Structure 1
Amino acid sequence: MRGGGTEMDPMDIKYVNKCRFAVASGIFDGYDVPHQPSNMSDRSKKLFCFLMVVDEASLDFIKENATIREDSDGGLWVGMWRLVLLKHPPYDEPRRNGKVPKILTHRLFPQAQYSIWIDGDNQNNALKSMHVMHNYMVEVKYKLIVNTYGVGRIPLPLLNINTIAVYEEADANKRRKRYARPLIDLHMKIYYYEGMEPWSLKKSTISDVPEGAVIIREHTALNNLFSCLWFNEVNLFTPRDQLSFGYVVDRLGGAFKFFMFPNCEYNSLFVLHPHTREHSSKVEWVKSLSEFKGSGSNMKESRGGLGLWTPYPGELDSVMLPQVRIRRPLKVLYIICKEKSNTDNLWEFIKHWG
């Protein structure tokens, strides 16, 4: 990706080009430290490359808070993780920079045939992850697998279906100050204007919203195309990738097949660790577009989300977003996974209670 705003050191390029099976993660702006995979078999150590993508701020933070060793080729390691430094990040916003390795995994590691993406605040149970990859990719023939339950994560072995529609997820993002509220609204108005309907039983998926902390994929041509289209949306609008995933799936019609696994499986595979600090971007607290005027203009991203500031060819002022409803009978519905572990049962439950 030379000249594309994210450049890797030649020694890292040489190393990753040997990787056919990659476990990838990323840390940007020093929000996490690498968490070592557990239950590693000798075969997994030989088969998989564990690649931790970092920016320079995170590399400095890791050097101060973890033990780094250097191999004979100059490569940097923290335990099992090979640190891969991305120089010249393309965006002002660290969270948007983090989408480069997360979504464009096939571009950073072009020789990889399979990959498992893990958000930087997660610790991987390697042995169980291999089982999930085998069960869904080999046995059931899915090419992309992602975990689901939206922004309202809870530390329980349950599936949250409160945000199965993208407009519900957008509302949750606003309430939790994940990005500027008026820009999230604008993002959603564009999608609604372009025909993105709220999730309903007419759709073939159990949700429009991935949680996205875990993405398991085979690097097929269609998967790579989907990833590029998904990244285009994240580049153009808000950096909240959960809001763009369902839109791209919708625009591709039935051409793109994937599987969403529930939160109970996620909790059996990964341990969620707290960030080293809270994200502190001022743009997340913006409640009105007027706050971007005058001295507030410096809160605008200069290299990302430009579609939010470019005149849209349609009339958006009259667009009324779908009403966000709380699903009955409780404010948040959960499914106990051990009782609703297969997709058919999950689908029947949603049809009954959704």
Structure 2
Amino acid sequence: MRELGRMETEAQRLPSLRASHRTERGNRSAGPKDAADEIDVSANGKGIKDPLKMVWRRGFIRLVLVSAIVWMLLILFALLFHLWSCHSSISFLSALCKKDSKVLGILDTMGLTTKQQHRCPIPLMDDPDAIVIPKRTPDAIPKFLKYVLEDDQGNANEKSQPLFGGHQSWKQRENSFKLNTTMKVHCGFVKNGGAEMDAVDVKYAKKCRFVVASGIFDGYDTPHQPSNISLHSRKLFCFLMVVDEVSLDFIKQNVTVREDSDGGKWVGIWRLVTLHHPPYDEPRRNGKVPKILTHRLFPQAQYSIWIDGKMELIVDPLLILERYLWRGKHTFAIACHKHHRSIYEEADAIKRRKRYARPLIDLHMKIYRYEGMELWSPKKRTISDVPEGAVIIREHTAMTNLFSCLWFNEVNLFTPRDQLSFGYVVYRLEEFKFFMFPNCEYNSLFMLHRHTREHSSVVEWVKSLDEFKGNKTGLKESRGGLGLWTPYPGDLNSVQLPSVERTSPAG
């Protein structure tokens, strides 16, 4: 009986346990829902969230993310299109490209551009002290070179003050290209024509046999100190910075100018040489005096390296002379242009970029075309007719001095865009030999700095030849330039300038 009672008691407990387990399981499954309901109620009670707001917020976030992705894809597409247009052979697309744009600069720093390499290693010697300076190159033809010092105004229809470049006649110009043992040519520095140096600077320059020369005119720059200059070169070279009075005042206001006991003015390694009474009204043309006529300004110099005022020389000058003159037995070296080979292509680029008056460029080119100057071709004896004139390396022989004089006479007579005149003088003076080195080496010789401002003159913005006519004899810029002192002896009306194919988007 006792066993039977115990079994009945256990039978009664099992249903109750099952019921309690079911209740517990029910509570477990219902727990999260009840908790969620409590949270929702709590949330609704506080007014923070409801189902509609949650859906709206998630949709807004998705919209922002999609818009950002689309915007980034558009920017990437625009960058790729800009890059592609800059290297496209289609003239319309390449015309849309601006080579100096910030976009292209960013792409270049990222390594995404495919433009040509601007810098390359220069095969220089390691030690300037190990360089042996060779003997001077002997003069052959011409052997003796003399200069016109008095301005003969018999060719001008009216008397005027002497001009720095003189009133060169067309016959004199033609004869200057005919080589003789002894020659006398116009070469600037005509008496009372301007560009006088202080006596203290003349005295200092007489001791200079090796010269690094530069120039600043119209206050558009300040001197940049050369770097990597050996002690040997510091002792051997004179570093001469030619300035006008406007630039001297500007330099004094912006950098420290030291004056020595003799009255010479210095900015770091540069000796400032002031040219008084600038010979031209155009600062750009005044800058050609020390650049091209370095041998006239510093007549005792045997070797010279010219660099434009906006550049910082970063290679030892003695290494430059060894690489570009002595190693190949050259007397004149200059870099080829980065983009152009033909002067007509360069002239077209100058007009397109508004770097000088279009009618004056056209007149300049028509005269050269009339006189037989052809487009550059691989058949010519030079790799290009257009140089990068910011660096010129010379041994001052009679031939290189003659070339410099004739080059300057073209700049004096026509436009100051000397890259146009260089190839013409090479064409006329066939006996002149020189070394034109790769442009990437040119870019490895210096660091380029921006001008503080651009200089220009009224002449540069002439829109027609009628604006430029001074009198019945033809065109005259006051005190020189486009000095057609007598009418040109040929018929230019029938001259057609050759068509130019734009070979470079940057040109």
State the TM-score, normalizing by the size of structure 1: 0.85
Alpha-carbon separation, structure 2, partners of 1:63 and 1:258: 39
Give the direction of change, closer, same or farther, for the CA distance of 1:60–1:130 in structure 2 (3 Å limit).
same
Q: List per-residue Cα deviations over 1:129-164 (Å, max 9, x = no partner).
A: 432320221110111011221xxxxxxxxxx33x10
Within the candidate set 217, 221, 226, 1:32 is matched to 221
Alpha-carbon separation, structure 1, partners of 2:483 and 2:192: 22
Within the candidate set 487, 491, 507, 1:311 is matched to 487
Within the candidate set 184, 205, 215, 2:382 is matched to 205
Q: Output the amino acid matched with 1:134.
A: E
The answer to whether residue 460 in structure 2 is matched with residue 284 in structure 1 is: yes
Contact 2:314 2:445 in 1 (8 A): yes
* Counterpart residue number, 1:100: 289
* Counterpart residue number, 1:147: 335
* Counterpart residue number, 2:477: 301
Contact 1:189 1:319 in 2 (8 A): yes
* Counterpart residue number, 2:435: 259
* Counterpart residue number, 1:247: 424
Q: Output the amino acid matched with 1:189.
A: K
Instruction: Give the superposition deviation at 1:310.
Output: 4.6
* Counterpart residue number, 2:360: 183
Q: Output the amino acid matched with 1:50.
A: F
Q: List per-residue Cα deviations over 1:311-349 (Å, max 9, x = no partner).
A: 21111011000111123xx6469xxxxxxxxxxxxxxxx
Alpha-carbon separation, structure 2, partners of 1:285 and 1:239: 14
DSSP-derived class of the 1:34 partner: coil
Instruction: Give the superposition deviation at 1:65.
Output: 0.8
Alpha-carbon separation, structure 2, partners of 1:293 and 1:82: 40
Alpha-carbon separation, structure 2, partners of 1:226 and 1:300: 25
Work out which structure has the larger RCO, using CA pairs closer than 8 Å and 6 or more positions apart in sequence.
1
Instruction: Give the superposition deviation at 1:300.
Output: 6.2
Alpha-carbon separation, structure 1, partners of 2:498 and 2:456: 30
Structure 1, unaligned runs of 5 or more? 150-159, 334-354
Contact 1:93 1:301 in 2 (8 A): no
* Counterpart residue number, 1:156: none
Q: How does 1:109-120 map to 2 (within 5 A)?
A: 109-120=298-309
Q: Find the structure with the greater CA-based Rg.
A: 2
Q: Output the amino acid matched with 1:139.
A: R
Within the candidate set 171, 188, 207, 2:348 is matched to 171
Q: Output the amino acid matched with 1:90.
A: P
Contact 1:326 1:332 in 2 (8 A): no
State the TM-score, normalizing by the size of structure 2: 0.60
Alpha-carbon separation, structure 1, partners of 2:350 and 2:486: 23
Q: Output the amino acid matched with 2:497.
A: L
Contact 1:237 1:304 in 2 (8 A): no
Provide the alpha-carbon RMSD of the alignment: 1.8
Within the candidate set 209, 218, 221, 2:395 is matched to 218
Within the candidate set 266, 270, 276, 1:81 is matched to 270
Instruction: Give the superposition deviation at 1:180.
Output: 0.8
Q: List per-residue Cα deviations over 1:268-326 (Å, max 9, x = no partner).
A: 111111111122423323332244479xxxx9620122335752111101100011112
Contact 2:468 2:477 in 1 (8 A): no
Q: List per-residue Cα deviations over 1:80-100 (Å, max 9, x = no partner).
A: 000001111111111111111
Q: Output the amino acid matched with 2:442.
A: Y
Give the direction of change, closer, same or farther, for the CA distance of 1:275–1:50 in structure 2 (3 Å limit).
same
Q: Output the amino acid matched with 2:426.
A: V
* Counterpart residue number, 2:48: none
The answer to whether residue 268 in structure 2 is matched with residue 67 in structure 1 is: no
Structure 2, unaligned runs of 5 or more? 1-188
Identity %: 74
DSSP-derived class of the 1:311 partner: coil
Alpha-carbon separation, structure 2, partners of 1:206 and 1:102: 23
The answer to whether residue 346 in structure 2 is matched with residue 135 in structure 1 is: no
The answer to whether residue 451 in structure 2 is matched with residue 275 in structure 1 is: yes
* Counterpart residue number, 1:153: none
Alpha-carbon separation, structure 1, partners of 2:476 and 2:452: 25
Q: Output the amino acid matched with 1:179.
A: Y
Alpha-carbon separation, structure 1, partners of 2:309 and 2:235: 22
Instruction: Give the superposition deviation at 1:177.
Output: 1.6
**Structure number having the greater helix percentage:** 2
Alpha-carbon separation, structure 2, partners of 1:75 and 1:229: 32
* Counterpart residue number, 2:208: 19
Alpha-carbon separation, structure 2, partners of 1:204 and 1:22: 30
Q: List per-residue Cα deviations over 1:159-189 (Å, max 9, x = no partner).
A: x33x100000111111122211000000000
